[in-house]
Structure 1
């Protein structure tokens, strides 16, 4: 059975892909795993049957057979470990990729949410120094760490604070240029993918909560 990802029926960001379900869909596209979308309204997110899946009434929810997961970081890590394509082959590189995934959600994202410009500037400067002139954290190999870091940085891409760093601007742009990201971003809601690598053979399917 293909995974099912719950998404907003009416995304508050106007479909720009800033919500956390985009990370999950991007990960599935990167590994070529077919999946379905179930779109949910804000009122449905407060219903008891939905909150049995996500006790905080938030997005996203990921269902794969008998497994139900919430929290985008946990879901993306599961996808990376379950399907080939987002973790490097060597054990050290795999661990570093997971480290950067956690750095994105535990260090950078809270700085953005805090609204502390000075603190965020410091963290972004430190991040840019580590990235250097590399395309990705592991050089030329895109990984789950990059997927999560680009996802976290994307809402800043038009801000003055990110424009201060050419390295990070290029880093985000490279992530957005990936075909898998574009497929995840442009997939219309309420469609079922019969192929994770193509927009062909899409059929509409409604999912009851």
Structure 2
């Protein structure tokens, strides 16, 4: 059965890999699974056809036979559970990898997204200048904790897993802010994720949508 995912017709980030379909593309590339992409406009995302797949009118969605899914974390977990390459065989190590997936989405990403909100959507508010340092402090606290746990290891728990895929994807959102550079071990961790051939294929495929250039081989 052909796997089909949805992605932005034109990504708000211009193809820098921050749109969440990149996470799904990366997981499919790591798992060696072919897939097709259906591009949707912002207008189409709010239409009944797309809302039937994603009730909140976002991307990505995942379709395979009779299965239709939304929410990036759930999609990546589904891919990882069905195909080798993203979760360890050992039951305990597998559980820890899934824990890191949830930690990336539920503990590390929220303050990072809050920074985007504070800098872009709330920049004109009278209290924005007072709130921004508080948001940045929360991010630094989380990164300090994550850095302490990672230490000098290459990955969060032994070999690369879906937990690392999600964590690297989340941390990438901080690159433009400069905050990630305050934690050299985490910056190096993200760079290792980006250097993976599967990530490069996913990134270039997403970039090609926004530049009109075919991905390199």
| TM-score normalized by the length of structure 1 | 0.89
User: Displacement of 1:199 after TM fit?
Assistant: 7.0
Contact residue 87 and residue 161 of structure 2 kept, 8 A: yes
Which residue is 1:105 aligned to? 105
CA displacement 1:117-138 (0-9 Å, x = unmatched): 1111001000000000000012
Matches within 5 A, 1:4-83: 4-83=4-83
SS of residue matched to 1:5: strand
Distance in 2 (CA, whole Å) between partners of 1:166 and 1:159 is 14
Contact residue 112 and residue 173 of structure 2 kept, 8 A: no
Distance in 2 (CA, whole Å) between partners of 1:158 and 1:54 is 29
Which residue is 1:171 aligned to? 189
SS of residue matched to 1:17: coil
Distance in 2 (CA, whole Å) between partners of 1:50 and 1:160 is 36
Aligned length: 192
- Runs of at least 4 residues off by over 6 Å: none
Q: 1:63 to 1:108 in 2, by over 3 A?
A: same
Contact residue 17 and residue 185 of structure 1 kept, 8 A: yes
CA displacement 1:39-61 (0-9 Å, x = unmatched): 01111111111101111100111
Unaligned runs of 5+ in 2: 116-134
Correspondent of 1:122 among 141, 147, 150: 141
Distance in 2 (CA, whole Å) between partners of 1:173 and 1:199 is 20
User: Displacement of 1:149 after TM fit?
Assistant: 0.1
Contact residue 37 and residue 189 of structure 1 kept, 8 A: no
Unaligned runs of 5+ in 1: 191-197, 201-209
Q: What's the RMSD between the two structures over aligned residues?
A: 1.5
